[in-house]
Amino acid sequence: MVPAPIRRCTAACAASLFLACGHGEAFVTSATTSGPSSAGPDVRLTYNAEQDYWPTWTEDGQGILYSFVHPDTAAQHRCIGLLPKAGGATTWQLCDDRAIQRDSVNSFPAYALGNDGRLLYVEAVARRGVGATTPAHTTLWLADTATPFQRQQLLSLPTTVTGTAVAWLADITWTGPTSFVALGQDFVPIGHCQFCAATDSTFPGVIVLRGSIVAGGLALTTVSGTAGASSYSLAEGGTSIAFTMRDDRRLYKVPLSGGAPVAVATVSLSGNAQLLGVSCKGTTCVVASDPVTLTNVNGNGIIFPSVGTGATELRAVSLASGVVQVLRTTAGIVATPQISPITGDVVAQVGGLFGRLQTVTSAASDLHLYLGLLP
Amino acid sequence: MTRAMKLALIASVLAATPLLAQGTGGLVGKVVDASSDRPISGVEIRVDAGRYFTTTDTLGEYRLRGLPEGFHTLALNRPGYRPERRDRIEIRAGEITRADARMGQLAVQLAELRAVGVKDPVLDPLATQTEQRITADQLRRLPVTTLDQAIEMQAGVVGGSYRGGRPGQQAIVLDGFGVKNQLDASTNGVAAIQIPPDLITSVSLVTNGFSARYGQAISGVVDVTTKDGGDQWRGRMAYENDRPLSGGADHGIDRMVLQADGPLGKKLKVVGIIDLNGQLDGDPSTAPAPTNPLDPRSTAPYPLPHSSTENWSAALKLTMPLSSRVVGRLFGLATTQQAYLYDPVYKYDPNDGPGSRTDGKLFTSHFQLLPPTQAQAPIFGDLRFGYFDKQFVRGTVDAPNYKFGAFTMKRLEILDEAIAKKQDTLATRAALPDFGTPQFASNTPWGVPAFFHSEAGSGELSWNEFSEFRSQLDLTAGLGRYVDLYFGGMYAAQTVKTYQRVLAYEPVGATAPTGGLTPPPTASHFNPAISGAYVEAQARVQDLGFTAGVRMDGFSPGGANAVNKTLASHTAINPRAAVSTMVAGATFVASLGKFSQAPDLQYLVNSAFDDTTRTGRFRPGNPNLGFESAMQYELSVRVRLNTGNSVKVNIYDKHLDGLVASVPLNVNPDSSQFVNADIGTVIGAEVIFEQELTKNWGVKVSGVVQNATATVSNAFNIYNQTHIDPNTHDTITASRFQFPLDYDRRIAVTAQVTGQIDTSFSFKPLAGLEVSAVGHYWSGLPYTRTSAVGDTLIGAINGSRLPNQKSVDLLLRRPLRIGKFNGGIYVDARNVLNTANQTSVRRDTGTPNADSATIVRIATAAYNANPNPIPYESPRYRRGADLNGDGVIAGSAELMPLYTAAARDFTWPLFVYGPPRLIRFGFEVLF
């Protein structure tokens, strides 16, 4: 929606008997374009008291897609927002609160916006109410941002891709007009704190997937060598994939077509810190390292993260040399860094969540933009 | 002859009805010897060079019937007498013109012999109808652009209400053919089809005991006569707009008219017209600008989004003599009226809004049997067949894409109109997939999620179709010199289809956002019929005239009731009579009449509403509704004070009965049912003074004093007289006390001045300028005060009154010669003084604006419904409201000012005020 100011009939207009004045248009007010914290190299993008998380850049680098819990919807839907590249008011939102979905909680965990408005997104629909946190439907859709609910179903989850069970998708990235890469995950809704009011979901990484949209629907394959990836990024001009793994301080790389993983670098972390996301541009990657401890609390094999002690850092890792460099040190949780495709800016989620590892209903997080973090 | 005079002559010729017009009247007279005043028998009376012919009887009297409306020549011949001739005798449809003559013997020289004297139509005692007539020439000279506006200027007419009755109680007759919208005349206009003004020859408004020939009305008849093609090609082309104005004076008005008529071959005459008009600011208002500088209307109070109108009309009429006594006519008219409807809820939605479209089609065939030229007891009349179809649809539409002015050049697409036409009430119990749930707009100046919606309509989808095939026979038999007998009948087979769905984004039974449950869709398809037969006689003895007739009306609702029994038909016998005479130079007419009309067919079918306050969400129809009726008594006096002026006084007493009202069956408003329950009384007096054109200037002043009461104001109001005992749940019916009716306008005064500046006026730009000014004064209409939440009455029903209203309209026309053509330029200005007339007020405050307590109450309610903080990245974030600058607008201190401003914006009294000054410029070419 493009804000349009009200046009008055000008003198030139009045001089002509045959031109219509534009005074039939709706009143539109522009949203605020400058934020209260926009000064300085680190810009806080969101102030939502609920969760804002999992940012990703649009293909053209002009916007930042992210998930957020909509404060105005009683159902606590998780929606997609689109922020301008430098921050400001969201310019587009997708929130499925249609009447037919009123009995559901809807979540959009993965999304990618192409240059021409092609929108890939995953929608998970769960029945509202206690004990109904497992999505009844999880679907990968192809649509246009202008008409997001006039859509083509590409995939229904869970599914099996070349023998690997995949229940969830994350971090979709367009690699061409009809091709994309995504992270396949498992989905585990069981809470580690069964008597807590909060509802948790954990997302154990499974494998990186490549998708191709064909006439009949979708062709999915796994990228060999990426099994167990907890986050990934296209790297080296899209020819390779860099990825992290849970409880592993190394950054790995495989060709886009798959192969044996190569540990590019080892990030020196204190305590039980984890790598909570990677993003690469060319041969330079940014990883987030956080003081997170993974624990099998219930002894049921489900590993839950918890915040430990230690520094939170954004580090640069060279795929060419393996050199690791601290870019920013801060407190709390910083996760899922994403490098702008057109600048050296990096967007990341700060606070509350554990990147791609887990979401917790009541844990607030926001997005921050680190201007010029990379040259 | 000056150019202006030539133009005036051309205009008068254009205004005159050509030969063979379908409206007919009579010509009577007495011929006496100029020297002895004795009657002359055997005088040959020839009208239009013998086309109509008769002779005087032994009393010297003659009578010609069935003369076409318009101007005619009259010639008198008798051997031994000097032939006499009069060129311009006007015959009016439905009236009898009297032309007496004194003939001089050839041997006698009388220097100043008045050969032919036309009887004064003002004083003619045979004119028993209280009729107000507007001719095409007057339509052209007055500041009016539609038929409704012209009628609204007549005494006793207020917003579609005739003499205090409800809207829709009148009939509309087009060329003798009834075209009433019987489906929803009371709420959606009485005419089944829009009639282009340039097609009209004359309009008559009859409000007293109208002829038994007319049915389907209890408060009046609007009789419209259209043009026939002339013997030579001629026409008018005009374009008008207000584009040269700027700012608030430019309302985006455009109107284009092309009308032409003439012969095709030797016999066939044709009239064609195309009339296109549009208005970007379709419902302008004089409401003051909001005071909050953030409100977009504070600096530009005039433009309203989604508020434009677009009307297209095209008509073609063919006239051809089929024999020496039979004339055939074929007439086709197609119209489309579409509107984007301003609703404050969607004022900030650039994409969607409410809209409506009405499509009308009319086809008629008319066979006119002309009277024989010499018969003393002729029979003549009209046989008509016709079909009209009216489709109406209202719902959600996309924002208009204007191509030129307010013209989109395409039919308005109503969301899911095709679904509505299928009338499938089972399939549409689910939420309609194309309808989105209303979202609170985020692009308002206030940001907060309240009051204003975006990206979705209200969920309303309403469609209906009303069609009628009508046959009608009207005959006139002359019974000697003094009696005319009128008789005939009609039968109309109707088809009604309706569909309504509200809150279409919700499944039926779901809890509606505004409370209550979403009602089921409603639909109907049935075939009612109406019929009528009448006989009426008009007799004259000297200056005493009698008219007496009786009409039988029939109404069959068609279909079956809930237990599959055929619904009962209804009949009504309606006698009507009038007597008139001249006493002391004044004409007195006393009339009485009983009238009946079938109810609006919309009340026979189930309806769904989105209104929880007064009407409930679902209203079961009542297919057993019967006639609404009225009895009216009237005494009229007509007198001339001096030559050229006249005064008419009409005193009337009208009793309405059986009008449709909503009667609750229990305390649940959803349980109410339409029944024939309302009664009403209208007592009033009309005074009309007219100074006919003298030296090119004329004046007409009409005043009305009236008292109109009823038990309810319209069919959707709960019948006030029924009460439910809260303890026993018994129904208590009190005496039928009447309250002032919504249209109880106590005093109304209209003054018209028309004229033309002399063509010899020294300041040439003004020489020949035609001037017409119309002033109105109306006392305020009544309304009912209620509490702020609307559930408690404050004072009596309709116990308060709106402020008085007034306006002045002006039309200036300067005739010009444009190349080979005559033409002119004109300025049409309405409400010249830009008076801010209050047409309504808030029922709780009695003022246009909501009071502070109301603003705070609704703002607080909205805040409590959505108290969530607004973060910086939200489109709702407004920096000025973030008092502590923490990037979040949170808490009452920061949010409530926004909600309060939004509430004030939402309740801003826009349509409480009438239209502002409207000026349009036009030019026309006559050819």
Average per-residue pLDDT for chain A = 81
Question: When comparing pLDDT for B725 and A326, which is higher?
Answer: A326
**Could you read off the pLDDT of B204-216 as tens digits, one per residue?**
888 776 788 888 8
> Higher-confidence residue: B44 or B120?
B44
Determine the pLDDT at residue B900.
96
Dihedral of the alpha carbons of B315, B320, B326, B328, in degrees to the nearest 10: -30
Q: How many CB atoms are located within 10 Å of the residue A37 CB?
A: 16
Kindly tell me if the per-residue pLDDT of B87 is higher than 80. no
C-alpha distance from residue B604 to each of B462, B591, B596, B599, B851 (Å): 16, 33, 17, 8, 40
B573 touches A at CB < 8 Å: no
Contacts (Cβ under 8 Å, ≥6 apart) of B426: none
Above 60 in pLDDT, residue B561? no
Q: What are phi and psi of B652, to 5 degrees?
A: -135, 155
pLDDT bucket at B309, cuts 50 / 70 / 90: very high
Predicted local distance difference test score (pLDDT) of residue B4:
46
pLDDT greater at residue B836 or residue B155: B836
Smallest Cβ distance to A24: which of B300, B303, B871?
B303
Structure-model confidence comparison of residues B662 and B919, the more confident one: B919
Tell me the count of A-B CB pairs closer than 8 A: 167
Of the pLDDT bands very low, low, confident and very high (cuts 50, 70, 90), residue B813 is: very high
pLDDT digits (tens, 9 = 90+) for B844-862: 888 888 889 989 999 999 9
Stretch A118-122: mean pLDDT? 94
Q: CB–CB of B406 and A3 under 8 A? A: no
Residues 27-46 of A with CB under 8 A from B: 27-32, 34-37, 44-46
pLDDT at B563 over 70: no
* pLDDT of A358: 61
Is the model's pLDDT at B267 over the cut of 70?
A: yes
Partner-chain contact A46 B296, CB within 8 Å: no
Output A317 or A13, whichever has higher pLDDT: A317
Average pLDDT, chain B: 83
What does the pLDDT read at residue B316?
A: 96
Pick A8's closest partner by Cβ from B300, B353, B440.
Answer: B300
CB contact under 8 A, A4 and B871: no
- CB pair distance less than 8 Å for B882 and A83: no
Find residue B575's DSSP bridge partners. B550
Q: Say what angle helices B852-865 and B891-906 make with each other, to 10 degrees.
A: 120
Cα distances (angstroms) measured from residue B44 to each of A96, B378, B818? 89, 17, 46
What's the pLDDT at B48? 76
Q: In sequence order, what are the beta bridge partners of B312?
A: B276, B336
Residue pointed to by tokens 């100074």 = B691
Residue A6 in this model has a pLDDT that exceeds 80: no
Best mutation target, B306, B432, B873, B886, to test chain A (most A CBs within 10 A): B873
Position B115 confidence tier, pLDDT thresholds 50, 70, 90: very low
Sign of CA dihedral A81, A86, A88, A92: negative
Per-residue pLDDT reduced to its tens digit, B377-424: 778 889 999 999 999 999 999 888 888 888 998 999 999 999 999 999
Per DSSP, what are the bridge partners of residue B278?
B254, B310
In the predicted structure, residue A38 carries a pLDDT above the cut 90 = no
Q: Which residues from chain A sit within 8 angstroms of residue B447, using beta carbons?
A: 29
Question: Is residue B639 pLDDT above 80, yes or no?
Answer: yes
- Closest residue in A to B883 (Cα) is A36
**Distance from C-alpha of B659 to C-alpha of B680, rounded to nearest angstrom:** 8
Contacts of B405 in chain A (CB under 8 A): 20
**What does the pLDDT look like over A234-272, one tens digit per residue?**
999 999 999 999 888 899 999 999 999 999 999 887 777
Banded pLDDT at A282 (limits 50, 70, 90): very high
DSSP secondary structure code for residue B105 in this structure:
B
Q: What percent of chain B has pLDDT over 70?
A: 87
Residue B2 confidence (pLDDT) above 70: no
pLDDT confidence band for A55 (50 / 70 / 90): very high
HSE of B625, CA atoms in CB hemisphere, 13 A? 32
Q: Which of A9-13, A183-187, A252-256, B509-513 has the lowest mean pLDDT?
A: A9-13
Q: Do the chains contact at B246 and A13, CB–CB below 8 Å?
A: yes
Cα B794 from Cα B363, distance rounded (Å): 51
pLDDT > 80? residue B172: yes
Q: Check residue A318 and give its pLDDT.
A: 95
Cβ pair A35:B245 closer than 8 A: no
pLDDT band (50, 70, 90) for residue A86: confident
* Closest to B406 (Cα-Cα) out of B289, B252, B274: B252
* Chain B neighbors of A17, CB-CB under 8 A: 241, 243-244
Residue B109 has pLDDT above 60, yes or no: no
Which pLDDT band, with edges at 50, 70 and 90, does A40 fall under?
Answer: low
Binned at pLDDT 50, 70 and 90, residue B256 comes out as very high
CB contact residues (below 8 A), chain B span 259-298, against chain A:
280-281, 294, 296-297
Stretch A283-308: mean pLDDT:
76
Contact B281 A14 (CB under 8 A): no
| pLDDT tier, B528 (very low <50, low <70, confident <90, very high otherwise) | very high
> Is a pLDDT exceeding 90 seen at residue B597?
yes
A51–chain B Cβ distance below 8 A for any pair: no
The residues, any chain, with a CB within 8 Å of residue A308's CB and separated by 6 or more, are: A271, A272, A273, A291, A292, A293
- Contact at CB, A29 and B296, closer than 8 angstroms: yes
Q: Alpha carbon of B697 to those of B123, B139, B753: distances in Å?
A: 22, 16, 7
Tell me the residues of chain B between 874 and 893 that have a Cβ less than 8 Å away from chain A. 874-879, 882, 885-888, 890
Specify the 3-state DSSP secondary structure of A49.
coil
| CA nearest neighbour of B605 among B558, B546, B550, B541 | B558
Span of A120-134, B543-557, B700-714 with lowest mean pLDDT: A120-134
Amino acid (one-letter) located at A97? D
pLDDT at residue B253 is higher than 70:
yes
pLDDT higher than threshold 60 for residue B236: yes
With an 8 Å Cβ cutoff, is A24 touching chain B? yes
pLDDT higher than threshold 50 for residue B9: no
Give A64's pLDDT tier (boundaries 50, 70, 90). very high
Quick check: A171 pLDDT over 90? yes
Stated pTM of the model: 0.81
> B800: pLDDT confidence band, cut at 50, 70 and 90?
confident
| Res B719: pLDDT | 59
Give the per-residue pLDDT at B454.
83
In B542-627 the beta strands, taken as DSSP E runs, fall at: 544-556, 570-583, 586-597, 607-608, 618-619
Identify the residue among B872, B886, B910, B923 best suited for mutation to test binding to A, counting A beta carbons within 10 A and taking the highest: B872
ipTM over 0.85: no
Q: Is the pLDDT of residue B584 over 90?
A: no
Cα gap A15→B754, rounded to integer Å:
32
Q: Which chain B residues are closer than 8 Å to A44 by Cβ?
A: 872, 887
Of the two residues B87 and B38, the one the predictor is more confident about is B38
Residue B713: pLDDT over 90? no
Provide, rounded to the nearest whole percent, the portion of chain A with pLDDT above 70.
76
Lowest-confidence range among B345-354, B435-444, B614-623, B639-648?
Answer: B614-623
Report the pLDDT value the prediction gives residue B436, as an integer from 0 to 100.
Answer: 80
In this predicted structure, the answer to whether residue B92 has a pLDDT above a threshold of 80 is: no
- 3-state SS assignment for residue B419: helix
Measure in Å the smallest separation between the Cα of B195 and chain A Cα atoms.
26
Assign B609 a pLDDT band (cuts: 50, 70, 90): low
Lowest mean pLDDT among A122-136, A205-219, B262-276: A122-136
Contact yes or no for B297 and A8 at CB 8 A: no
Q: What pLDDT, on a 0 to 100 scale, did the predictor assign at position A133?
A: 63
